[in-house]
Structure formats: C-alpha cells, structure tokens
Amino acid sequence: MTEPRLSARGITVRFGGITALDGVDLDVPAASTVGLVGPNGAGKSTLFSVLSGLRRPNAGRVFLDGLDVTASTPQSRARAGLARTFQHPELFSGLTVREHVTLAYRLKHTPLRVWTDPLTAGGFRRPRAEERDRVDQLLSGLRLQPLADRTVRGLPLGSARVVEIARALAREPSVLLLDEASSGLDVAETEELAEVLRRVVAERGISVLMVEHDVDLVLRLSDQVCVLDFGARIAHGTPAEIRADPIVRAAYLGENLEEAR
C-alpha cells in the first residue's frame, strides 16, 4: 500500500479538564477524498486545527508525505503542499475573482513579490502569459470564468466558497483541507460545490479531507469516511460501511439520522 499523503497518529488534545481528542488516527491516501464527520462537539474542528497546524496536540504526530510536520507552522505546511479553505471565506472585497486566484498562484511561483504587488504604483502587476493561461485554466475548470472580472464583494456564498477553493488550488497543493465547505449553502449551491469537488479530485488527482456537518454530502463524495464522537474515532470505512454501522447510527440518533441513512 502506498504511503498516505496526510496522516495523523494518536492525536490527543485537552482543554483543561476536557479531552477534545483522545488518541485519534486518520489517513488521507493519495488521490482520494476522505470525509470527517461527527455530532456537535465530537472534535472535528479541533482535529482540523491540528492537521492544518493551528493547534499543537498534547500527544500524537502529524505526517505530510511521510515527513513529521507536528511542530511545523501552517505556512510551512502550506509550502509542503497542504492547502486549506476557511468556513468564512477570507476574500478581499475590492479584488476580482481573477486577481484572487492570480495572487495565490504568485504566492507559490513568485513568493517574494506577492505582497508588494498590490502596493506598487502601477497597482496589480500584469500577469505574464503563462500565469494567465494557468489561472484561466483553473477558473474555467471550476466554472468561474463568468465571474472572473467581478469583484468578490456581494458574491453569493456558494460562489465565494468556490473562489476559496480556486485560490487554494492555485498553489498546486497535494492535499486540500475543506473546513465545512457546504455550511450556509442552499441545495443548489451544495450540488454545484459537490460537482466542483468531484471534478477537482478527478482532474487533479489531489487528496481532499472534508470536515462537514452535511453527512449526506460526505457519504456521496468520499472514498473513506471517519466518524468521531466524544473525541474518539468510532468508525472508519467506505460510505456503504458507514451507512450500515450501528454505532454510527446510534451516535447520530436525534441529530442527522435521516441524513446518515
């Protein structure tokens, strides 16, 4: 079996007397989508923070392509190929969709200039041909071309989430972490997001970890699903295995049982 792209071993996080995570393991294999679900307070956000580098675990290790990154900052994990999106898209309202994606592309390819570009007298530096091609490719792959020259101010949340994903992908990551990407989206926007994610995995061969409240979405999109409850991994398997698992169904009683069915 090939080495997982992203791997967590024995992750334990305590907040005072609360054990938010208790020795949790998680693997995200190459070119696959893994869903992380669990009832409220299960520890999903805490594990996401540990994986993205925002929180150091009390115990356990995180590996990216086999390298121990437990002590690495989010920035150095990003340089090593880990990208993430935020539940509340952090976009600059005055920039266009294309400018967001172009800046992210530059961050990877010409890191020293990116923060000075918007400040230089000429404003946003004109993209070079190759850069423009790559950005166009990304925009059209994510069906963002019609919005490319709009500023992000006032974009519907569904489109803003896809812009966030485009921005993360512009840095050509090997692993993409999605933080509650469907939260606040209506049914049509969720369908569009699902379509975008399917295409991203199929076309780019990257690995995706999605942390989600929408169990139905996770079961539809994931190759493997990990279920947390009270800080422990209570199940792990294919969507079919998860659907049939009586322990998972019990954990969701009174919450998302309909969705988990």
CB of 257 to ligand ATP, least distance (A): 16
18 near ligand ATP, rule: CB under 6 A: yes
**Binding of ligand ATP by 15 (CB under 6 A):** yes
Distance of CA 220 to the CA centre of its chain: 16
- Choosing from 4, 6, 33, 44, the residue that interacts with ligand ATP (CB under 6 A) is 44
Query: CA-to-CA distance for 61 and 227, rounded, in angstroms?
Result: 19
Among 8, 28, 33, 43, binds ligand ATP (CB under 6 A): 43
Q: Can you read off the two tokens belonging to residue 202?
A: 């199929």
38 binds ligand ATP per the rule CB under 6 A? yes
Question: Whole-angstrom Cα distance, residue 86 to residue 183?
Answer: 11
| Token pair recorded at residue 20 | 């938010």
CA separation for the pair 227, 214 (Å, rounded): 13
Site size toward ligand ATP (CB under 6 A) is: 11
Instruction: Select from 1, 2, 17, 40 the one that contacts ligand ATP (CB under 6 A).
Output: 40
H helices of the chain, in order, are: 44-52, 74-79, 97-109, 129-141, 157-169, 187-204, 215-221, 239-244, 246-251, 257-260
Nearer to ligand ATP, 26 or 147 (CB): 26
In this chain, which of 23, 29, 45, 183 binds ligand ATP, going by CB under 6 A? 45
Cα separation, 120 vs 128, in Å, equals: 17
Among 42, 176, 185, 208, which residue sits at the site for ligand ATP (rule: CB under 6 A)?
Answer: 42
Q: Which is nearer to ligand ATP, 21 or 97 (CB)?
A: 21
Whether 207 and 6 have beta carbons less than 8 Å apart is answered as yes
Supply the minimum distance, in Å, between the C-beta of residue 194 and ligand ATP: 20
183 CB-contact burial (10 Å; exposed 0-12 / middle 13-18 / buried 19+): middle
- Whichever of 43 and 81 has its CB closer to ligand ATP, that residue is 43
* 20 near ligand ATP (CB under 6 A): yes
In this complex, which beta carbon is closest to ligand ATP, that of residue 124 or of residue 230?
Answer: 230
Q: Binding to ligand ATP by residue 46, rule CB under 6 A?
A: yes
Give the total residue count for the chain.
261
Q: Segment contacting ligand ATP (CB under 6 A): 12-20, 59-67, 119-127, 162-170?
A: 12-20
Instruction: Determine if 52 is a binding residue for ligand ATP (CB under 6 A).
Output: no
Task: Identify which of 140, 206, 142 has the alpha carbon closest to the alpha carbon of residue 173.
Answer: 206
Note whether 182 binds ligand ATP by CB under 6 A: no
Q: Under 8 Å CB-to-CB from 188, ≥6 apart: which residues?
A: 158
Binding region for ligand ATP (CB under 6 A): 15, 18, 20, 38, 40-46
